[in-house]
Structure 1
Amino acid sequence: MNLLDLFDEQLVHFDLEAESSDELLGKMVEYLEKRNLVKDTYRQAVIEREHKFPTGLPTKVMSIAIPHTDVVHVNQSCISITRLKKPVSFREMGNSNNVVEVNLVFMLALNGSQDHLKVIQKLISLFSLEDVMKDLQKANSKKQLLNTVFQAIHEMETI
């Protein structure tokens, strides 16, 4: 599986607003449902999983969340990206007592059971690159945001 194939400009959203992580996840799932990329069970499953296994990830530049759920809820693998107008609270991955104010969400909808761990590891590596995070924060278009992701992934894979 090529990680770059999971991204689509139509699944990138700017300035989305939500009062809670549940509301945000619901809005993001709507876009996936309209394109028939996920089953009607995905919404509830991704919200429940986020409650049990939080995915908020603080970085030096801005906080990220990587919500996802089981493969049985996915029709076609993809990654949806949302940069928020204002941060939304998520609980921290690995320390659910902490709350992080998330600015950027990478929602995974993967239908291959082996893919989740590999994709999450690659994304976390990407998020650890401060220059990339700054470029993601500064991006002012879907195309610019995706180009930043593509370039960083390409560079990681050629190292």
Structure 2
Amino acid sequence: MEISEMFQPELMEFHLKVVSESELFQVVGEKLAKLGYVTESYVGGLIKREEVFPTGLITQYLNIALPHGNPEHILTPFVFITRLDQAIVVKQMGDGQELLTKDFFFLGMADGKKQVGLLSSLMMLFMNEGFVQTYQEATSRDSLKEVLDVYLREGVLNYD
């Protein structure tokens, strides 16, 4: 599967209203299961993984979270992007400190090696001020897809 196929407009949500990380995981997991991207065990696996390996990330320009489940819960590779109306508390990758974010990139990879590459690529992208600015200006699925397509075409966003 080409990486560009993982970024589908149906997997982009703006103005999601949730009050906690677990509620967000439930809402996103139900949508992904309904669309055939994940198994019914996805949400439970995601919650367990996040407890042990949190995925919040403080970058210079924007706090984000990159939740990702284990490959056995993934039916079709995907990246689900959501921007919440209000920031929620998540734990930071590495040290588990709490941080606030409203921007989430859920990664669903059946190949663990590609998942590491995609994580690294996304982390680098969010260190790019130009990308962050255009990402934050995107207010619709179509405009966000256009922003992502630029970086996909340039090869900046990849999983190699």
Answer whether TM exceeds 0.5 for this pair: yes
1:148 — aligned with what? Answer: 147
Structure-to-structure mapping, 1:18-37, within 5 angstroms:
18-37=18-37
The residue identity in structure 1 corresponding to 2:65 is A
- 5 Å matches for 1:114-129? 114-129=113-128
What secondary structure, in the 3-state scheme, does the structure 2 residue paired with 1:23 have? Answer: helix
- 1:156 Cα deviation after fit: 4.2
Whole-angstrom distance in 1 between the partners of 2:134 and 2:10:
20
Specify the alignment match of 1:3 in structure 2.
3
Structure 1 residue 25: Cα displacement? 1.2
Query: Does 2:109 match 1:110?
Result: yes
| Cα shift at 1:79 | 0.6
- In structure 2, give the amino acid aligned to 1:140: T
Question: Equivalent residue of 1:95, what SS?
Answer: coil
Q: Separation in 1 of the partners of 2:52 and 2:123?
A: 20
Q: Which segment is superposed worse, 36-45 or 139-148?
A: 139-148
Give secondary structure in 1 for the equivalent of 2:31: helix
CA offset at residue 67 of structure 1? 0.4
* Alignment: residue pair count: 157
Is the deviation greater in 53-62 or in 12-21? 53-62
Q: Which has the higher strand share?
A: 1
Gaps of 5+ in 2: none
Runs (4 or more) in structure 1 with deviation over 4 Å come to none
CA deviations on 1:66-86 (whole Å, 9 max, x unpaired) are 001111111110110001111
Contact 1:3 1:119 in 2 (8 A): no
**Which residue does 1:14 correspond to in 2?**
14
C-alpha contact (below 8 Å) 1:37/1:75 kept by paired residues: yes
- The structural deviation recorded for 1:2 is 2.9
Q: Give, in angstroms, the shift of residue 111 of structure 1.
A: 1.1
Tell me the residue number matched to 1:135. 134
Q: Once the 2 structures are TM-superposed, how far is the Cα of residue 51 of structure 1 from its aligned partner?
A: 1.1
Residue type of the alignment partner of 2:95: N
Percent of aligned pairs with the same amino acid: 28
The Cα of 1:157 is off from its aligned counterpart by 4.0
Question: TM-score of the superposition, structure 2-length normalised?
Answer: 0.92
- 1:54 correspondence with 2:54: yes
